[in-house]
Structure 1
Amino acid sequence: MTLQRQFESALADAFGKVLGEKTDASVVAAADLRFGDYQSNAAMALAKSRRTNPRELAGKVIEALDLGGLGTADIAGPGFINIRVAPETYARHTAELLADERLGVPAIGDGRTVVIDFSAPNVAKPMFVGHIRSTILGDALSRIARFLGFHVIADNHIGDWGTQFGMILYGWKTQLDEAALAEDPVNELVRIYRAINAATKDDPAVRESCKAELVKLQAGDEENLAIWNRCVELSKQGLQKIYDRLDIRFDHWLGESFYNDRLGPLVEEFIEKGLARESEGAICVFASGELPDEQDPFRIQNKEGWQDNPAIIRKADGGFLYATTDLATVEYRVDEWKADEIWYVVGVPQQLHFRQIFDASRRWGKDAGFRHIAFGSILGEDRKVLKTRSGDNVQLADVLDEAVERAGQVIAEKNPDLENAGEIAEIVGIGAVKFAELSQHRLTDYVFAWDRMLALQGDTAPYLQYSYVRIRSIFRKLEGGFDPASAKLSLHEDAEVHLARLLARYGETVPVLLDDHRPNLLANYLLELARAFHSFFEACPVLKAEPEVRDSRLALCELTSRVLEHGLGLLGIRCPERM
């Protein structure tokens, strides 16, 4: 049990004794260590509802409080209860964490099934830098949720169907360069798509030919289906190379095409159940009337007042839309995978779309704990959306290549004789890109700055990786080995106590990351832990200390390295042993 939970339990018991009824008492880490390690405002909250003096209530609670030697408590201000943890408690808790493979993190998922929809690139197109946010954020949330005890199903809902295939099919038949396709399939598919797309704007005959190829595909034409299948397979192979490099795995790749046969019956069911109706030849989902206008995603306000804002699920020409496919996807995930929750890691611009999908799904009876995990944009150093000099989107593969190349240059300058420098540059470069994303609040726009991202100092992955490497180097210098289980921990210096304090908070930090889907809280914690270690290392000699003190400090070092490695692992970032 975390120290936080132990204090909450003790406080709840004390409040129960004073108030004569069972109650909860939340405890949080103190923002200012001058006032203690933990703090609770429960006395103020409970006093208000009982019309009593909060400071007086806090005083009675402290008199009834039994902390069992864990620490001491006092009152501050209008009724805050501050708790100071005894160094002996931190020492004992550190020893417990060293023996715990979960490092003090409780499993809170209870096996609930969570489907996480992330990355989702389009077939026959390269992944761009904008895919960083969904791909890396989604993977981190998957790792965290799995560790916390959720049954996670990671689904890459790729865009493998749609009007662009008419152009690709026509281009395949008229402009394909087989040699270029063999060398770089995705780039060749992009080339023919761009060429045909440009041609359709100048030549109506080309445009009509593309439409004809699409109709043949949708009708099941064998030749076009064979070309389409090859395009999808080649694209997947190209995408998989990037995912392998990022160490990202999916349980399923159920793209848009998987749901094609479900779309027609879905629309008919919506009509039959009164969830959708015809409007100007199209079938649309309108507001249910159950929500106020300002909360209803199917209503929109303009200068004339509140107006209908329906979602079209079948066009007048019989075609289906993203909304239809997404509803079919919800149905499959709820009925087949028994999803308790479905998380969509998709950018802010899709907010209205998902509000409509979630509302329509609930009315349909396909309810799950829906979450749209939105995120902002990646900016260049000019604070504009990141583009190449020619104005094109920056390809993700190029970003990863440059990150590794720059990491290699930094490593060559710092440690020119390092073995496996190429492998370590890959670990450091990819880690830097991931951490630059995951250290930001997901809703903020952030600047993609190479020098800052790869710095060995500051809020970066290389700084954390270097911290881990520095700790492991201590053990390489150690003669005779070290068994953490046999070390007797004793904390006397402030730097020792503070490091133990932060190590104790790992188990308190990880469970709250999913409250608002914010892995940046873990990134911030790891940075604070690394800074605490460096302060400890400067203030407290390790290898030159007396044997008992040395072993106690080595135990702190060991646990710090484990937490750093594990925490970075939850973010999808590896730690090299040397750098």
Structure 2
Amino acid sequence: MNYKAVVAELVAAKLPELNAETVAELLEYPPNPELGDLSLPCFKLSKQLRQAPQQIASRIAEQLDPHPAIASVEAVSGYLNFKLDRARFAADVLGAVLREGERYGSRTIGAGKTIVIDYSSPNIAKPFHIGHLRSTMIGNALYKIHEFLGYTCVGVNHLGDWGTQFGKQIAAFKLWGDADKVEREGVEELLRLYVKFHEEAEKNPALEDEARALFVKLEQGDEECLRLWKWIIEISYREFNKIYGLLNVTFDSDLGESFYIDKTGAVIEELEAKNLLVEDDGAKLVRLDEYNMPPVLIVKKDGATLYHTRDIAAAFYRKKTYDFHKCIYVTGSAQSLHFAQWFKIIELMGYDWAADLVHVPFGQVSLEGAKLSTRKGNVVLLEELLQKSIDQTLQIISEKNPSLENKDEVARQVGVGAIVFNDLSTYRIKDVVFSWDEVLNFEGETGPYVQYAHARCCSVLRKASGTDSIEAPAVTPEQAALLTHPSEQAALRELYLFPERVLQAQQKLEPSIITRHLVDVAQSFSRFYHDCPILVDDEGQRAARLGLVKAVQTVLKTGLALIGLEAPQKM
């Protein structure tokens, strides 16, 4: 039952000035359950209804029609507070979770709509570092959340496999490289060569000209340059796939920038035909002065294209290939202007689907206040971070639960989960200062805490069944209605809120809403576990409480999956 909708209908029936949808948007969940389960702050209605908030609250409370789901209504200090019938609420929520299982919270609102999500997109020949984690895991979570709500999703890894940096990489390899060492050490050696190039170029600027010349040769199809370029891509893929394997992240498409090179010509021709291109000292650009944005360079003097040109070509390809409802780009906030510019260009070209292009920015990751830079080698490699977390987790498991089966696999699930959960706990637009101590801290509101709550649920269910089964016995509505203890009700309330939080995460493109809610679910379970003995003699009480344990386990597993984490049954 949607209790917000029920309350909104009851209130709207007594306020002809408002409809139920408007009232539902105003309803809040009081932080203190003693005040009520739902609350209408009448301050927001005072101006429209030309009455004091307390008068409005009192009037509605007196006139409200009774409803079996509502136990009481009280007007307090300008708020209209609703308390739900505890037994009915318990039976309703528990019944819904146990009936729907891991589909609880799912919807079909996306049926028939395709969402393209562009995320991760590391640069070839550069290491996968902590700065890439945010795009990868935010995008992965958005993919899973949209899919859960019925959308058809297409995950795109738009690899940075083109650009002048390849001239630098090829130049560095020709000058100082060793093929055997690159094969052996992979991207780590490519990074060393890239850093060395910039160090040497500061002393000898002529190296920059040499690199530009090599990139031009690459663009012109020089056999040797193409061979080195393809080899560098192959070396990089090996590295990336190791990381994606650890993170359990996959993609539907990995077409890099180079795929769109031969598709930029049509974009340039159309821009010219629509009189949007302006020539400037041999280069071609689009002016966006009237939109308070700097001009966008489309074609350089030497005829080469740029990121903007290739991104526009990629958008046209995706629209034609997938006919997307939305195309979402998950990148750092530093690129906000870049996306605003080329979104505007597609709009100026006359395509109304420009409004369906969405940039999802996230805050910058810095290393103790210093910006990450592959040129300077100032990075924390993601594989190193993940492995360190896995090793630390394995050490903790070996000390606390040495007889645990599959210790290595559980350590991977929990160790990787700690890193991902830590990253997705932060509101995405906030900047993040990387700290080894914080990331590897498993205490408090962390991924391991939530995963442990799931494992504890599984342990209770196994103990109750006397087998390895984590299924709960059937629970009748009458038995579920026995869950009226405040700690039971608090856990049920968090379960009830889960579908709403999933929808909010999708609407706001904000996975941290789910991440934070999982902590709330785990904490409510911990209080329930402490306050309410589960394996009691009373058959009805036992069945109801085991049903609640199963419901919490189900929602924790579902929620963890939505943000890309696994849910170990034993820890």
Aligned partner of 2:410 in structure 1 is 424
Q: Is the counterpart of residue 362 in structure 1 residue 354 in structure 2?
A: no
Deviations 1:222-247 (Å, cap 9, x if unpaired)? 33323322322331222111111101
Q: Is the counterpart of residue 404 in structure 1 residue 403 in structure 2?
A: no
Aligned partner of 1:87 in structure 2 is 86
Greater shift, 185-194 or 360-369, is seen at 185-194
Aligned partner of 1:301 in structure 2 is none
Greater shift, 218-227 or 87-96, is seen at 218-227
- Distance in 1, matches of 2:428 and 2:529, equals 33
Q: Secondary structure at the match of 1:25?
A: helix
- Distance in 2, matches of 1:20 and 1:408, equals 57
- Could you tell me which amino acid in structure 1 is paired with residue 89 of structure 2? Y
Deviations 1:7-45 (Å, cap 9, x if unpaired)? 334444x246x559776321332233232111224x555
Instruction: Give the C-alpha shift of residue 196 in structure 1.
Output: 4.2
Greater shift, 427-436 or 357-366, is seen at 357-366
| 8 A contact 1:120–1:159 mirrored in 2 | yes
Q: Secondary structure at the match of 1:228?
A: helix
Residues 480, 385 of structure 1: CA spacing in aligned structure 2 closer, same or farther, 3 A cutoff? same
- Could you tell me which amino acid in structure 1 is paired with residue 312 of structure 2? L
Residues 352, 151 of structure 1: CA spacing in aligned structure 2 closer, same or farther, 3 A cutoff? same
Gaps of 5+ in 2: none
Residues 545, 168 of structure 1: CA spacing in aligned structure 2 closer, same or farther, 3 A cutoff? same
Within a 5 Å distance, the mapping from 1:492-507 to structure 2 comes to 492-507=484-499
Greater shift, 181-190 or 490-499, is seen at 181-190
| 8 A contact 2:366–2:432 mirrored in 1 | yes
Residues 524, 203 of structure 1: CA spacing in aligned structure 2 closer, same or farther, 3 A cutoff? closer
- Could you tell me which amino acid in structure 2 is paired with residue 228 of structure 1? W
- Distance in 2, matches of 1:196 and 1:467, equals 50
Aligned partner of 2:181 in structure 1 is 180
- Distance in 2, matches of 1:387 and 1:568, equals 32
Instruction: Give the C-alpha shift of residue 128 in structure 1.
Output: 1.4
- Could you tell me which amino acid in structure 2 is paired with residue 470 of structure 1? R
Residues 242, 276 of structure 1: CA spacing in aligned structure 2 closer, same or farther, 3 A cutoff? same
Within a 5 Å distance, the mapping from 1:473-552 to structure 2 comes to 473-479=459-465, 483-487=472-476, 488-489=479-480, 490-552=482-544
- Could you tell me which amino acid in structure 2 is paired with residue 6 of structure 1? V
Instruction: Give the C-alpha shift of residue 172 in structure 1.
Output: 4.3
Q: Secondary structure at the match of 2:7?
A: helix
Deviations 1:350-390 (Å, cap 9, x if unpaired)? 1211221222221223314232221123345x4555799x9
| 8 A contact 1:177–1:188 mirrored in 2 | no
- Distance in 2, matches of 1:165 and 1:158, equals 13
- Could you tell me which amino acid in structure 2 is paired with residue 374 of structure 1? P
Q: Is the counterpart of residue 345 in structure 1 residue 330 in structure 2?
A: yes
Greater shift, 502-511 or 265-274, is seen at 265-274
- Distance in 1, matches of 2:142 and 2:19, equals 38
Q: Secondary structure at the match of 1:162?
A: coil
Gaps of 5+ in 1: 290-295, 299-308
- Distance in 2, matches of 1:286 and 1:77, equals 58
Q: Secondary structure at the match of 1:342?
A: strand
Q: Is the counterpart of residue 333 in structure 1 residue 334 in structure 2?
A: no
Q: Is the counterpart of residue 214 in structure 1 residue 215 in structure 2?
A: yes
Residues 564, 119 of structure 1: CA spacing in aligned structure 2 closer, same or farther, 3 A cutoff? same
- Distance in 2, matches of 1:545 and 1:365, equals 71
- Could you tell me which amino acid in structure 2 is paired with residue 328 of structure 1? A
- Distance in 2, matches of 1:115 and 1:452, equals 33
Residues 199, 19 of structure 1: CA spacing in aligned structure 2 closer, same or farther, 3 A cutoff? closer
- Could you tell me which amino acid in structure 2 is paired with residue 261 of structure 1? D
- Distance in 2, matches of 1:362 and 1:199, equals 43
| 8 A contact 1:73–1:81 mirrored in 2 | no
| 8 A contact 2:61–2:75 mirrored in 1 | no
- Distance in 1, matches of 2:209 and 2:485, equals 78
Within a 5 Å distance, the mapping from 1:252-267 to structure 2 comes to 252-267=253-268
Instruction: Give the C-alpha shift of residue 218 in structure 1.
Output: 0.6
Residues 410, 386 of structure 1: CA spacing in aligned structure 2 closer, same or farther, 3 A cutoff? farther
| 8 A contact 1:15–1:23 mirrored in 2 | no
Greater shift, 444-453 or 511-520, is seen at 444-453
Residues 75, 357 of structure 1: CA spacing in aligned structure 2 closer, same or farther, 3 A cutoff? farther
Deviations 1:518-560 (Å, cap 9, x if unpaired)? 2212122111111111111111111134221111100000000
- Could you tell me which amino acid in structure 1 is paired with residue 457 of structure 2? I
Aligned length: 558
- Distance in 1, matches of 2:34 and 2:508, equals 29
Aligned partner of 1:71 in structure 2 is 70
Greater shift, 531-540 or 227-236, is seen at 227-236
Instruction: Give the C-alpha shift of residue 47 in structure 1.
Output: 5.6
| 8 A contact 1:115–1:339 mirrored in 2 | yes
- Distance in 1, matches of 2:141 and 2:190, equals 31
- Distance in 1, matches of 2:33 and 2:52, equals 26
| 8 A contact 2:461–2:472 mirrored in 1 | no
- Could you tell me which amino acid in structure 2 is paired with residue 556 of structure 1? L
| 8 A contact 1:342–1:368 mirrored in 2 | no
Instruction: Give the C-alpha shift of residue 72 in structure 1.
Output: 3.4
Q: CA RMSD in A?
A: 2.7
Normalised TM-score (structure 2): 0.90
- Distance in 1, matches of 2:547 and 2:492, equals 10
Residues 45, 197 of structure 1: CA spacing in aligned structure 2 closer, same or farther, 3 A cutoff? closer
Aligned partner of 1:114 in structure 2 is 115
Instruction: Give the C-alpha shift of residue 74 in structure 1.
Output: 2.6
| 8 A contact 1:76–1:82 mirrored in 2 | yes
- Could you tell me which amino acid in structure 2 is paired with residue 92 of structure 1? A
Deviations 1:243-272 (Å, cap 9, x if unpaired)? 111011111112111111122331232122
| 8 A contact 2:464–2:535 mirrored in 1 | yes
Aligned partner of 1:245 in structure 2 is 246
- Could you tell me which amino acid in structure 2 is paired with residue 478 of structure 1? A
Aligned partner of 1:25 in structure 2 is 23
- Distance in 2, matches of 1:183 and 1:378, equals 29
Instruction: Give the C-alpha shift of residue 186 in structure 1.
Output: 1.9
| 8 A contact 1:108–1:511 mirrored in 2 | no
Within a 5 Å distance, the mapping from 1:276-295 to structure 2 comes to 276-287=277-288, 289=290
Greater shift, 104-113 or 546-555, is seen at 104-113
- Distance in 1, matches of 2:141 and 2:454, equals 20
- Distance in 1, matches of 2:373 and 2:442, equals 27
Q: Is the counterpart of residue 139 in structure 1 residue 137 in structure 2?
A: no
Instruction: Give the C-alpha shift of residue 70 in structure 1.
Output: 0.7
| 8 A contact 2:157–2:255 mirrored in 1 | yes
